[in-house]
Structure 1
Amino acid sequence: MAEYKVNKTVQEINERIRQGKAVVVNAEEMIEIVRKEGKVKAAQEVDVVTTGTFSPMCSSGLLFNIGQQPPVMKVSKLWLNNVPCYSGIAAVDAYLGATEPAEDDPLNKVHPGRFAYGGAHVMEDLLRGKAVHLRAEAYGTDCYPRRELDKDVTLADLPNAVMLNPRNCYQNYNAAVNLTNRTIYTYMGPLKANASNVNYATAGALSPLFNDPYFRTIGMGTRIFLGGGIGYVIGEGTQHVQKPKRNERGIPEGGSGTLMLKGDFKKMNARYVRAQSIIGYGVSLALGVGIPIPMLNEELAWFAGVANEDISMPVKDYGYDYPNGIPREVTRVSFAELRSGRIMVNGKETATVPVTSHSMSLEVADKLKEWILAGKFLLTEKQDDIPSF
């Protein structure tokens, strides 16, 4: 066990939150505190660091139940606003994937492979109080005789609605460039020919998994800000990389850790759950996620002092290399360089374009900070580890 000069517990920090005495700062504010005071004093002074990200998170969706009405039904196929949902779960349970396109999408009819409306739009419509059209089919049984259902529903009409996301909050990611001589359309957005733009994701120093890179405090059961409501980490996400190559601050050099998340969809806010139509690619969901990092010791304070200059990201070619599964780096740059608006790629000055909103990521971190300071949000201890080394 490491010997620390500062040793706090989550229970002690929660008691300070209840008493209105907790010191809470966002991850950007923590950078200057660690630089000025050092990690030990920073850990002594600060109780919680709040993080935030607002970024496309394709691997998201809605697990819901439509309820029964006589005669009862065992659904085999279901659509919301003509977006197919997966119904092979139970009688009236279904899962709506954020990236699933509507079957009658008019944009897809004109431009095959391009979609304007899909699962993420249904999710946002529901949160905004709009009615969506539900259509269901069944083969019929003695105990579930109904074969068809056709009606409009709102979120209030659904007995249960849970956001359940297999893979969110990538710990690091690629910056994307296109070295071919034609514009290509990707999940990172349009990439112009001949390295004319570099698109990049993550919230940098605000991003949750940069502030706790070894998952010291984040694990199964961690309470979080999710889509404007309260959610939980339920384990590592799909494509989680357990042993990535890291720099001296513990920051992975490429895509690595991911989280599986859940939360009560009915208590979320459409401001932090927004559908996206990515031209030439399809549908995605921009989602706000904020995770509190308790300052239990100076090691965690040091990690939470991470700055954009400390984070390096690989720039990869999405024209030739990525489609063929070649993990070649064109160059490597710091997140601070990406945020500057210009980097050099193969000797050419290239514009950088964020697909993550910094202003909304900061808003998420500050909203979580506000909740904690008001005593509305207490921290939880993880109940199981997420493997990281």
Structure 2
Amino acid sequence: MKSIAQINEKIKKGKAVVVTAEEVIEIVKEKGYKQAYEYVDVVTTGTFGPMCSSGAFINFGHSNPPIRMQSIMLNDVPAYGGLAAVDTYIGATEVSTKRGMEYGGAHVIEDLIAGKDIKLHALSNGTDCYPNKEVLTTINKDNINQAYMFNPRNAYQNYPAATNSTNKTIYTYMGTLLPNYGNITYSTSGELSPLINDPYLRTIGLGT
């Protein structure tokens, strides 16, 4: 049995066999479980399809004086303020108050990951322990405390792909669909999805 130390050493030497969760399925089919176990060192499992429930929790860190953020805007996109003092959740489908459908929560998350600066505007009623009533500043991935992306409905069954056969652009929960089959958007974990692998719920069962 391989130890974590042995695998880490192979990674340092550039000799580790690293495959995705999708790739390991084919390796097991070809080699069998035992040989696949001996051959593969690392399986990456960050394989999910972002969709309408996706979003990010962000902790900004405290201002001086401190503030209990209640109304929060990131690049003019509303974010949820009903968490801790300087925490927020920004949903991927939230739209900009100034740019509408052209820019929204998913773009904010993309810009944050890319290292771009994000305008933060937060308001508060103010309290004795959080006297500050407004913060207007710039954040990026290097000056915030934490950011975690979440995808609550990752194993959803009915969102494999969408396209548009009409002559006009349409806006849907699957994103912007260009006319005349100009693009296809997809949101699924594919062959890793337990619901797609078990469409008749023979193993999963309702409520599991």
TM-score of the two chains, using structure 2 as the length reference? 0.68
State percent identity of aligned pairs: 39
Query: 1:237 corresponds to which residue?
Result: none
Q: 1:78, 1:86 within 8 Å by CA — same for their partners in 2?
A: yes
Query: 2:92 corresponds to which residue?
Result: 98
Q: Does 1:123 align with 2:113?
A: no
Kindly state the Cα deviation for residue 150 of structure 1 after the two structures are TM-superposed: 1.6
Q: Does 1:75 align with 2:69?
A: yes
The 1:43/1:171 distance shift into structure 2, 3 A limit, reads farther
Q: 1:23, 1:45 within 8 Å by CA — same for their partners in 2?
A: no
- CA distance in 2 between counterparts of 1:84 and 1:73 reads 17
Query: 1:306 corresponds to which residue?
Result: none
Q: Structure 2 matches for 1:8-157, cutoff 5 A?
A: 12=2, 14-20=4-10, 24-26=18-20, 27-28=22-23, 31=26, 34-35=29-30, 37=31, 39=32, 42-43=35-36, 45-48=38-41, 49-50=43-44, 53=47, 55-105=49-99, 108=100, 115-157=101-143
Kindly state the Cα deviation for residue 97 of structure 1 after the two structures are TM-superposed: 1.6
Q: Structure 2 matches for 1:234-273, cutoff 5 A?
A: 251-253=197-199
Query: 2:148 corresponds to which residue?
Result: 163
Q: 1:25, 1:46 within 8 Å by CA — same for their partners in 2?
A: no
- CA distance in 2 between counterparts of 1:72 and 1:59 reads 31
Q: Deviations over 1:207-230 (max 9, x none)?
A: xx25xx5xxxxxxxxxxxxxxxxx
- CA distance in 2 between counterparts of 1:52 and 1:79 reads 29
- CA distance in 1 between counterparts of 2:159 and 2:86 reads 39
- CA distance in 2 between counterparts of 1:104 and 1:90 reads 27
TM-score of the two chains, using structure 1 as the length reference? 0.40
Residue type at the aligned position of 1:127: I
The 1:171/1:28 distance shift into structure 2, 3 A limit, reads farther
Q: 2:155, 2:189 within 8 Å by CA — same for their partners in 1?
A: no
- CA distance in 2 between counterparts of 1:65 and 1:44 reads 39
Kindly state the Cα deviation for residue 388 of structure 1 after the two structures are TM-superposed: 9.1
Q: Structure 2 matches for 1:257-296, cutoff 5 A?
A: none
Q: Structure 2 matches for 1:192-341, cutoff 5 A?
A: 201-202=187-188, 204-205=190-191, 209=192, 213=194, 251-253=197-199
Query: 1:229 corresponds to which residue?
Result: none
Q: Where does the alignment leave 5 or more consecutive residues of structure 2 unmatched?
A: none
Kindly state the Cα deviation for residue 165 of structure 1 after the two structures are TM-superposed: 0.8
Aligned length: 196
Q: 2:71, 2:123 within 8 Å by CA — same for their partners in 1?
A: yes
Kindly state the Cα deviation for residue 32 of structure 1 after the two structures are TM-superposed: 6.2
